[in-house]
Amino acid sequence: FASSSNSPNATGNISSSNNSTPQSRPAGFGGAGAFDPHRNIQEQAGARPIWSVEYYAKFFDVDTAQVMERCFASVIPKENFLDVMQGSPDLYGPFWIATTVVFVLFVISSIVESINAYSAGTPYKYDFTALTFAFGTIYSYAFLVPTVIWGATKYFGCQPDLLDMLALYGYGLTIWIPVAVLCVLPFDLLRWGLVILGASASGLFLVRNMYPVLSRAEAQTSKSILILVVALHGLLALLLKYKFFAYTVTAPSQPPPPSI
């Protein structure tokens, strides 16, 4: 980390002074008056080298209200998502929503498995490899797939924006958090219904916002890329359903089914 130095600060805060002038910082919430991170990031936008942390701060230049607004807009799509983002896509949302989805899936799947084991009368053995699987699936869907789609559309001349793609896919994962939480309830039809609902909602969100970009290619290519997007989305939904929200017939005589 090229910039911050561990210089002891006389005021006793855990912070390092990047500037030479020590600023008096009110503790707690009241920091808005003394220091504005948005202005700080915008001012320093050109000044930092590419290997320093502050260079990437411009992709994280969002406030709490903006992130919440974007999350809601991805679940209830009232207007074009790119308009909601107002031209400044961020990476905070995709990364932390993906991470939250991973951990929520892990937590929910462990609850689901323990309910299964409880009703089957067998002792519950938790499964850590579910966490590995969740990480792999969700992270590749949130980061690898948009990059691939971006590369494909770029190849076909659609002039896409990588950050927009990442933001679309990242925020599109938001719906899986409530879906996962509700899938705790041990009713198979309910789980199927929720998964289909979530998949179609986020799928529609994706397709609707990618359509302007995709339509810049010729008709055949844009149709096939669209089909690819939908297919990958469906694949994700199926994976999540069978891996994390699996419903098992529980009877005391049956051994619990293998979860992997």
Partner 1 sequence: MNHQHNSVEPDDFLSPAAPSYVEATSYSDTYDNPFETNIPHRMNSPSIEPDDVPLPGQKPLSPTKSPLPKVTGNIGSSSSSGHGSSSNSAPTGNIGGGVGLGVGQASGIGSAIDTLDEPVSETLLRDLRNVGAKLQQVLYPKGRKDILKDWDLWGPLLMCLTLSIVLSMRAQPDQKITVFTWIFIIVWLGSAVVTVNAKLLGGRVSFFQSVCVIGYCLFPLVLVSVVSIFLSNIYIRLPLSGIAFAWASWASLGFLSDSNLANRRALGVYPLFLFYFVIAWMILIS
Residues that bind partner 1 (CB under 8 A): 1, 4, 6, 8-9, 12-18, 25-29, 31-32, 34-38, 40-41, 53-54, 56-57, 59-65, 67, 92, 96, 99-100, 103, 106-107, 110, 114, 125-129, 131-132
- Which of 99, 147 has the CB closer to partner 1? 99
Nearest approach, Cβ of residue 30 and partner 1 (Å): 9
Nearest to 240 by CA among 138, 139, 111: 138
Write down the least CB distance from residue 32 to partner 1, Å: 4
Nearer to partner 1, 29 or 51 (CB): 29
C-beta of 97 vs 213, nearer to partner 1? 97
Q: How far is the CB of 128 from partner 1 (least distance, A)?
A: 5
Secondary structure string (H, E, C) spanning 87-114:
CCCCCHHHHHHHHHHHHHHHHHHHHHHH
Dihedral pair phi/psi, residue 187, rounded to 5°: -125, 120
Closest CB to partner 1 among residues 15, 254: 15
Closest distance to partner 1 from the beta carbon of 133 (Å): 12
Output the DSSP codes for 139-158.
HIIIIIHHHHHHHHHHHTT-
Beta carbon of residue 187, minimum distance to partner 1 (angstroms, whole number): 23
Burial class (CB in 10 A: 0-12, 13-18, 19+), 165: buried
Residue 63 beta carbon to partner 1: minimum distance, rounded to whole angstroms:
4
Cβ distance to partner 1 smaller for residue 100 or 250? 100
Q: Angle 233-236-239 (CA atoms, 0-180°, nearest 5)?
A: 155
Residue 45 tokens, joined: 């936008």
SS percent in the chain: helix, strand, coil, step 5: 65, 0, 35
State the nearest-atom distance from the C-beta of 168 to partner 1, in Å. Answer: 20
- Report the residue number, 27 or 251, with the smaller CB distance to partner 1: 27
Contacts of 22 (CB under 8 A, 6+ apart): 9, 10, 11
Reduced to 3 states (helix: H, G, I; strand: E, B; else coil), residue 191 is: helix
Q: Which is nearer to partner 1, 132 or 215 (CB)?
A: 132
